[in-house]
Chain A
């Protein structure tokens, strides 16, 4: 028996070494250890082996079985490896470019807006939103713009026809005309009317002016405004906010300064200048970046807040202007042409 088994293992070893694919392997496996296989046949002879020899015979059979299994496992491992290898094509050239388009890019105005919102988020400002089609109340009246103020003029502001109706833009009074908002301050009014102080919001968004399009003007552009309403808000707090914003944006060395100015909805009002040292393509010491001021008590009255109790500040700036300064872009129209060679520069 031992000879038979030894011969079987030797034969299997030689045979399996030559098998390279799965069908041949399965057949060989059946031939040796299948129900009709050679090893099975030897095992069936066990009944005829004298009882005293059975343990020895059993050991021999087990040894042969283990040897066969080892040979089979090795062959299977080899075949599986070959099969996996066959799934691969030729080796890749890692220096070839990906034929897939990409990567996608965020628009520079989005990048600047999100950066500003992020900076403001850290000091508790949340982003508010409002309609671009507005009414005279939210855009002008509540912000103390007198009825004959030039900003309300059809020369400067886009109006919708008197017949226009916007189902999801509420009017304060029925006679109001719809217009395209000239600033995002209307969002501040809607936010104040909807909620109760304290309030700390930033409202970025698209605004419209009836203006000739040129390198620095555009029929629509984007603003970003902050509003903070609380008890005991001071000019000094406002200055601290502006310092914080621009230090965060441009580094610790950045300075801001206030120049007194006039806006109808803040008192006192200031224009904000930025030390321009960091900025590309600017050869001035100071550059104007936005306007701000303490919320005028009349605005609080218009939204039903007691001006004796509540105080606040507001700050606003143009996003295109900021983006132009930060990136050194000198024509506002590039933001609206979307030439991919432009867009891909800011990713």
Chain B
């Protein structure tokens, strides 16, 4: 809200410098977004002068030496000037020694290039009147010589653009801010003295206003209407226009301007009707009918419904209550008789309607935040005073007032020590009491307590609806004490036993791992476009992840994977010619599972083909390297991927290349992993160059273990092992792990309890020449070991033979000789 300093000075004698006032506003709790200075500041020793002579400076090409007449009292001065835009005979501002121009620029008699100068001829910028610095300010209209410059320049003002916090609707007014500043500077606040006292005299004009009916008192607890007959519409006086202009409002006519003026003064919105346009002489405050229409002042037709409050005449709505008047019922140039409405509308009602219609105004802004119903009549009387003053006319009956009968009463009891305990430092009782008084918080009772200092009963004024509890008074005391004066202290820490959340630690571990493996950590947006999800999840799942109210089309869905964002990053870097390969990200992803959504902690990475040319080639990324990384990520969540079934992806998985990628977990136990080559066609369609390998690991945050649990040592044999190698020819489609598991099982059965099959590992995979079509050879290394003795060939050979015999009986397996 824009607040004019000149205006504030009507209520409080603010002599402090503007910087001090800014600081006060700031530390009272309102942010000063901008300070706008209009006109000239008060300048002493700056007068009107006339250039009599302009000679070139003997020692400087660009300077002139002027003889300047500053009137009978000052005489003629010699002044050196660098400007070029003036001529002899021009009248200009002259700053004499002793003047202080904006920016603390002190004017002194001085020598400029050897030439004595008795002051300075000024530009508009130097006077702080305008930004323009192109030469001297040439004063029009030949003002009298020697006059103080402020008598010639338009009066200046300072306008503060202040952000008013939503808890302080009382400060959406000049009186509100003046009250705060008066409290801060401990100055007296002078309220406007209304002359009108509610006495409408003997004349009653029922023809202008018959009656006021409030049909919706729940939305309109107070409605007042006053009739003013015989007004003359015209421009409002200069002082009102100046003030409205200063705070950014366009003057319209005396009646509208007075309405705005009093709203900006008291914070109370009001509305003036042309009495002739109130059909049937009847004002009805009611809910609109569904589909009822009104054309508002801005020329737009609005369709109303029954949740909206209107001020209507006998036939039609005239005003959308508290928001905006109709185009037809307002005051026009030919208006002679007025009905002035000053009412209180419930904030919820105004807010609801304003939101539904997408229509706001200075009036609705104030009603939505809260207008003090107990100042309504005062504001009405003030407006009537100003209307009579600027538009003439006289107040006639009837004066209507409906509702507003609930008196305001609120008291808070607070003790001195309560406030000190909350603050953590002492403020003397007398200072607190002074703060209360300064804010017009009346102390209605004062009682000493045994150990908690004085207990004050503080009466809260009606405009401070935000003060309701003792803690609220702590803030008031602190505000006036000054938050800058909170004494310094050291942090005192009592030991609290705790550890970081398991999900946080998981996140840290996997990021450390990936960054340690040369990945660059990325951060991408959570919200993704619908068409992109189609490439990754089923239509049903995508529907579940849609936002109800996306802001932009390409951020409409929750991300089901981190890979999409990482591909964006790959693409961005590639397109900018930045060599890029390993990228990773951690963060939340959202997946649909059995008709419900799950929020998962996730870690993902991609490895693109590095386009950078190197003097030595490295092995390209492959599936098994990716698998290794995913296993490490799973391990960070306490999951041993080597013990988990891993299945190749088939066409039903999105985004991944069939035959070159795999999945594990599948959320059956709250986690899942996918890894391998990304779908070549998808990657190509995205415009990414080269193949991309990727991996992602998801886990429900609540499934991440807090610790890995203490392991127990298992005894191991110190005896040497015996090795045997064996190759099996199997169908190419059979997975190696299936064969390995079968072989291990058979080996264990053949060995029995004689000794241990310590490991069955794959050391070679072969397919091609020498093998039948559709077959592959898997070579295994079997490791046997006994606990207490060295195994001999005599023991191992028969067992190894037994294994081969058993394998011969397995369909589909052939031992390769």
Contact = CB atoms under 8 A, between A and B. Distances in A.
Interface of A: 96-97, 99-107, 109-110, 114, 117, 123-124, 126-129, 131-133, 148, 153-154, 158-162, 164-169, 180, 198-201, 206, 208, 210-212, 218-220, 230, 232, 234-237, 239-241, 243-244, 257-262, 267-271, 294, 296-297, 311, 335-341, 343-344
Nearest to A198: B496
B599 A129 contact: no
Contacts of B524: 336, 338
A117 B499 CA distance: 12
Contacts of A97: 615
Top 4 nearest A-B pairs (CB, nearest first) are A234-B424, A236-B424, A260-B29, A102-B518
Given A132-B599, A260-B29, A168 B523 contact: no
Nearest to B514: A104
Nearest to A160: B548
Contacts of B474: 267-268
Given A219-B551, A297-B469, A340 B596 contact: no
Contacts of A236: 423-425, 486-487, 489
Interface stretch (B163-171, B218-226, B264-272): B163-171
B701 to A, nearest CB: 7
Interface in B466-520: 469, 471-472, 474-475, 478-479, 483-484, 486-496, 498-501, 503-504, 508, 511, 514-520
Interface of B: 26-29, 31, 165-168, 347-348, 351-352, 355, 421-425, 469, 471-472, 474-475, 478-479, 483-484, 486-496, 498-501, 503-504, 508, 511, 514-527, 544, 546-552, 555, 558, 569, 572-573, 576, 578-584, 587-588, 590, 593, 595-599, 610, 614-618, 700-702
Nearest to A161: B548
A117 B511 CA distance: 16
16 contacts: A96-B615, A101-B581, A104-B514, A107-B522, A124-B496, A128-B504, A132-B526, A148-B348, A169-B599, A206-B587, A235-B424, A235-B486, A237-B424, A260-B478, A297-B469, A344-B520
* Most chain B beta carbons < 10 A, residue from A110, A168, A201, A257: A168
A106 B511 CA distance: 8
B549 A210 contact: yes
B520 A343 contact: yes
B596 A165 contact: yes
Contacts of A123: 491, 493
Contact of A105 (B28, B488, B521): B521
A206 B615 CA distance: 42
B29 A261 contact: yes
Nearest to A191: B501
Nearest to A320: B523
B421 A104 contact: no
A341 B548 CA distance: 37
Nearest to B613: A99
Contacts of B549: 154, 158-159, 210
Contacts of A335: 523
Contact of B521 (A106, A160, A235, A271): A106
A123 B490 CA distance: 11
Nearest to B507: A129
Contact of A240 (B490, B514, B547, B700): B490
Contacts of B581: 101
A154 B550 CA distance: 9
B518 A127 contact: no
B500 A127 contact: yes
Contact of B618 (A100, A168, A262, A271): A100
Given A100-B618, A101-B582, A270-B483, A220 B588 contact: no
A110 B550 contact: no
A200 B498 contact: yes
B491 A241 contact: yes
Contact of A168 (B484, B492, B700): B700
Contacts of A259: 26-27, 29, 31, 483
A294 B475 CA distance: 10
Given A160-B547, A241-B491, A262 B590 contact: no
Contacts, number: 243
Given A104-B582, A105-B520, A161-B546, A167 B610 contact: no
B491 A154 contact: no
A200 B576 CA distance: 45
Nearest to A232: B421
B472 to A, nearest CB: 6
* Most chain B beta carbons < 10 A, residue from A104, A109, A117: A104
B523 A339 contact: no
A260 B479 contact: yes
Given A258-B483, A259-B483, A262-B29, 20 more contacts: A99-B615, A99-B616, A104-B515, A105-B520, A114-B508, A129-B701, A131-B588, A158-B527, A166-B596, A166-B598, A220-B526, A232-B421, A234-B422, A237-B492, A257-B484, A259-B31, A260-B28, A294-B422, A297-B471, A338-B520
Given A110-B521, A237-B489, A268-B474, A340 B578 contact: yes
A180 B355 CA distance: 22
A211 B551 CA distance: 7
A167 B669 CA distance: 14
B472 A104 contact: no
A248 to B, nearest CB: 10
Given A101-B581, A101-B582, A167-B596, A129 B547 contact: no
A129 B504 CA distance: 7
A219 B618 contact: no
A106 B517 CA distance: 12
Contact of B702 (A168, A218, A230, A294): A168
* Most chain B beta carbons < 10 A, residue from A220, A240, A338: A338
Given A206-B526, A337-B572, A167 B514 contact: no
A110 to B, nearest CB: 6
Nearest to B702: A168
Nearest to A234: B424
Contacts of A165: 595-597
Nearest to B526: A220
A245 to B, nearest CB: 9
B588 A104 contact: no
Contacts of B573: 338-340
B515 A338 contact: no
Contacts of A240: 488-492
Nearest to B420: A234
Contacts of B27: 259-260
B496 A167 contact: no
A344 B581 CA distance: 13
A109 B492 CA distance: 28
A105 B585 CA distance: 11
